[in-house]
Amino acid sequence: MLDMQHITKVYRTDLVETHALRDFNLAVAEGEFVAVTGPSGSGKTTFLNIAGLLESADGGHYRLDGDDVGALDDDARAGIRNQKIGFIFQGFNLIPDLDVFDNVDVPLRYRGFPARARRARIERSLELVGLAARMQHLPSQLSGGQQQRVAIARAIAGEPRFLLADEPTGNLDSLMARQIMDLLGEINRQGTTIILVTHDPELARRAHRNIHVMDGEVTDLKPFAARAGAAVA
Amino acid sequence: MLGYYLRLAWLSLRRTPAITLLMIGAIALGIGATTTTLTVYHRMSTNPIARRNEVLRAVTLDSWSPDQPWDRDHPELPPSEVTYRDAVAIAAGAPAARIVPMRKTSLTAEPGGGRPPFLVIARLATRDFFPMFDVPFAYGTGWDARADRNAEPVVVLSKETNGKLFGGENSVGRVLKLDGREYRVVGVLADWQPTPKFYDLNNGAYDTPEDIFLPFGLGAALDLQPGGNVNCWKSEALAGVHDLFGSNCTWHQLWAELRTPAEVERFQAWIDGYVVEQKKLGRFPRKLNNRLYRPDEWLARHEVVGLDSRVLLLVSFAFLAVCVLNVVGLLLSRFLGAAGSCAIRRALGASRGEIFRQHLVEVGLVGALAGLGGLAIGALGLKALEQLYSSYDRLTQLDLTMTVAAIALAVLAGVLAGLYPAWRICRVQPASYLKTQ
């Protein structure tokens, strides 16, 4: 489903040149739940931004669903983000002026769904995250965990095939974090491919596969089961 | 998506009410100033008889002095009025569908019933005045040919005068005393306010039309005083009004209705021939220079839109531009302040075009609200002009065209102010904002 080959990304300022990704290679199959771990500054978020078409790579090839998406123009990338990719961010990234219903509605608006279809999808996704009763609330009226669940509802309302989560529990307490991970697990079981960026090994362990990134390169691609077994042995 | 964008715009404007009010106020001020000057300009520059522009002609003859032109700044121009005898001669003999000689006078109306007499401004004209200029009637009609021929004491009242004298009811057949004589009312005009008063630009281009209308022949029959300008160049013994009729003074307006180019040509040839004949009698000492003007040319010749009005209009637009420039800064800071929300929308699939349109709708809404404010300010400005210059009262009416124009101009100003900020915001890189949210 996702195939990155020799991806490079360099951030340049007048004084500094930072190699965020160097020869980054990764393939993710449909339906996988992949955790990407690594220390701060290792390139996890850059990888996620490129995977989510929020940024473009400086080199290498990126194929999504078999299509080369590396050279697409801005509008085409926006279209793919809208139709195929859901985002969950550490900071929730809800629009503060809009209530819960309207926040979940945002990607559906750009998708061009008619009003009735949008309402049905919004209600369904909010029910799934347990916030159907809070549709009229503003983000500021919700707890952090609730806000993140709204963000998840927004990410899944369009039924994307691919969910990118960047430290989705980073701002939550452990109980809330567990609930969010349970929710992501459930979404994955329903067929959505998930890539989760985290530096929490505990959370990463709940994924099918762990990718460890160091200095902009993938250093470890082992499934958790294999790694756990090796550790025991 | 327009409804969605409008809702987002409304939410966005409510989020920062102080900046919103500042932006609306800035554009409203500019629109208010522009609306004030544009309304006056619009009223001044309108051709109120545009529908008949092609068939009407103001008739001028160069009967002026051999020593100096009528207008030193424009020596090629003949006087804009004609003498009584030329007006009468041309009206009697020239080939035209309609010819109307006319002038202004004033009389004293005596309403009776214990009410005090009052001065009325009258126009002396032949009966063709009404159909020629599309004058609408509320009651009755103009007088007939016999009334013109015999200078009968009949009168047509303006709507206002009829209201003043007869309470606005149908007064056709009623008798009105003017200067001690009885006149029978044959018609009452409906509302008729041609601005500028194209048919007589020499005597108050922005005045209201006359209070009453009388058969032209009454002017000579009763020696009615001239009510407008009388321009003379020749030393002539003028003991009273009566002497004016045979003089070389110009004090009459003359209009003809000529329906085809051939009719225009024939008419021009006739008046040229007439002047050649008059030259043989020692009149018309200047070279042959008789001109016919369409109403639009007539308005242009009289420069009804003065240079000061044009300059004022330019200044008001410059002021609006300054207001718009100020709003650009406010919009830029406001839009960039909400860049995070745009980054989220971009991440969720909004194209740059969608973000651009969303923000243009927002600035359009700011413009529309500013337009309403600008109309209120403009109305105040027009009221102030009216108070300052009484002759401006007919130029300061905010009509539907100007209301729509003001709103449209305000929306345009808002959109212009918002183009650059909207372009900037639609180009934000979502990745650089999402991490910092």
Contact list, A51 vs chain B (CB under 8 Å): none
The answer to whether A106 contacts B429, with C-beta atoms less than 8 Å apart, is no
| Residue B331 to residue B96: CA distance in whole angstroms | 62
Query: Is A85 in contact with A53 (CB distance < 8 Å)?
Result: yes
User: Which of A 83-102 lie inside 8 A of B, CB atoms?
Assistant: 83, 87, 89, 91-98
Residue A41: pLDDT above 90? Answer: no
Cα nearest neighbour of B349 on chain A: A82
Find the helix packing angle between B307-337 and B352-388, rounded to 10°.
140
Residue A230: pLDDT above 50? Answer: no
* Cβ contacts of A226 within 8 Å, gap of 6 or more: none
The answer to whether A106 contacts B348, with C-beta atoms less than 8 Å apart, is yes
Q: Is A73 an interface residue toward B (CB < 8 Å)?
A: no
Task: Give B16→chain A minimum CA distance, Å.
Answer: 11
Query: Per residue in A164-204, pLDDT tens?
Result: 998 888 777 777 778 888 888 888 998 899 999 987 888 88
Query: Is B197 in contact with B207 (CB distance < 8 Å)?
Result: yes
Average per-residue pLDDT for chain A: 86
Q: Quick check: helix, strand or coil at residue A161?
A: coil
CB atoms within 10 A of CB A74: 16
pLDDT of residue B390: 67
Beta-carbon pairs below 8 A across chains A and B: 71
pLDDT of residue B412: 92
pLDDT, tens digit only, all 437 positions of chain B? 889 999 999 998 988 899 999 999 999 999 999 998 888 888 777 888 999 999 999 999 999 999 989 888 899 999 999 999 999 999 999 999 999 999 999 999 998 888 999 999 999 999 999 999 999 999 999 999 999 999 999 999 999 999 999 999 999 999 999 999 999 999 999 999 898 899 999 888 888 899 999 999 999 999 999 998 899 988 888 788 888 999 999 999 999 999 999 999 999 999 999 999 999 999 999 999 999 999 999 998 988 777 777 888 899 999 999 999 999 999 998 888 888 889 999 999 999 999 999 999 999 999 999 999 999 998 898 888 878 776 666 677 778 888 898 899 999 999 999 999 999 999 888 887 876 44
Q: Is A24 an interface residue toward B (CB < 8 Å)?
A: no
pLDDT of residue A156: 86
| Residue B424 to residue B411: CA distance in whole angstroms | 20
CB atoms within 10 A of CB B10: 13
* Across A148-162, average pLDDT: 88
Query: Per residue in A111-141, pLDDT tens?
Result: 989 999 999 999 988 988 888 899 999 999 9
Q: Which residues in B168-190 are b (16+ Cβ under 10 Å) and which e?
A: eeebbebebebbeeebebbbbbe
Q: Give yes or no for a cis peptide into A107 (omega within 30° of 0).
A: no
pLDDT of residue B385: 81
pLDDT of residue A231: 39
Query: Is B316 in contact with B37 (CB distance < 8 Å)?
Result: yes
* Cβ contacts of B116 within 8 Å, gap of 6 or more: none
Nearest residue, CB atoms, A81 vs list B12, B347, B353: B347
- The region, left, alpha or beta by phi > 0 then psi within -120 to 50, assigned to residue B398 is beta
Radius of gyration (Cα) for chain B, nearest Å? 30
| Residue B353 to residue B342: CA distance in whole angstroms | 12
Distances (CA, A) of A146 to A50, A149, A153, B392: 28, 5, 10, 65
Contact list, A154 vs chain B (CB under 8 Å): 348
Overall size of chain A counted in residues:
233
* Tokens linked to B130: 């009404």
* Cβ contacts of A177 within 8 Å, gap of 6 or more: A169, A203
Task: Give B350→chain A minimum CA distance, Å.
Answer: 6
Closest to A165 measured CA to CA, from A48, A82, A41: A48
| Residue A134 to residue B407: CA distance in whole angstroms | 40
Task: Give B410→chain A minimum CA distance, Å.
Answer: 27
ipTM score: 0.88
pLDDT of residue A15: 81
pLDDT of residue A225: 52
Q: Is A52 an interface residue toward B (CB < 8 Å)?
A: yes
Distances (CA, A) of A212 to A201, A231, B5, B214: 10, 16, 43, 103
Task: Give A202→chain B minimum CA distance, Å.
Answer: 23
The answer to whether B349 contacts A79, with C-beta atoms less than 8 Å apart, is yes
CB atoms within 10 A of CB A177: 20
| Residue B151 to residue B125: CA distance in whole angstroms | 11
Nearest residue, CB atoms, A78 vs list B344, B346, B435: B346
Q: Which residues in B85-108 are b (16+ Cβ under 10 Å) and which e?
A: bbbbbbbeebebebbbbbbbbbbe
DSSP string covering A54-98: SS--SEEEEEETTEE-TT--HHHHHHHHHHHEEEE-TT----TTS
Distances (CA, A) of B205 to A200, B255, B394: 86, 16, 10
Most confident of A26-40, A53-67, B271-285: B271-285
Residue A224: pLDDT above 70? Answer: no
* Cβ contacts of B215 within 8 Å, gap of 6 or more: B124, B125, B126, B127, B143, B147, B148, B151, B152, B154
Higher-pLDDT residue of A159, B163: B163
Closest to A152 measured CA to CA, from A191, A181, A116: A181
